[in-house]
Amino acid sequence: MISLLAFVFAVCSAVAWYAASPHCMWRVLRGRPRAARIAGSVFALLSLLGWISVLGIVTGLCAMLVSLMLALIMQPWLAWFAGSPGADVTAAEKD
């Protein structure tokens, strides 16, 4: 149960960090990048603590990084699959 919670915290962290990115394709998430970065860092720390409590230090760190990277990789693909309007022009908007 704690490992599921740690995974959920990693996904929340990835979503928050993706929302802070200028390349975020989700229009709903854009707006407060500083708050999103702070929230992402807090969620990442909670995820790390959860994984460490279940698996130990080294394995917990690896599990946290794997779950975080998996969630980060999925963000643009989910936005593209969901058909976000303006997904192609997101980076150009910020210029």
Residue written as token pair 């490992």:
3
pLDDT of 94 above 80: no
Q: What percent of the chain has pLDDT over 70?
A: 86
Q: Which two tokens stand for residue 29?
A: 């998430």
Span 44-66, pLDDT tens digits = 999 999 999 999 999 999 999 99
Confidence of residue 32 (pLDDT cuts 50, 70, 90): confident
Q: Among 10, 37, 9, 42, which Cα is nearest to 21's?
A: 37
Query: Of how many residues is the chain composed?
Result: 95
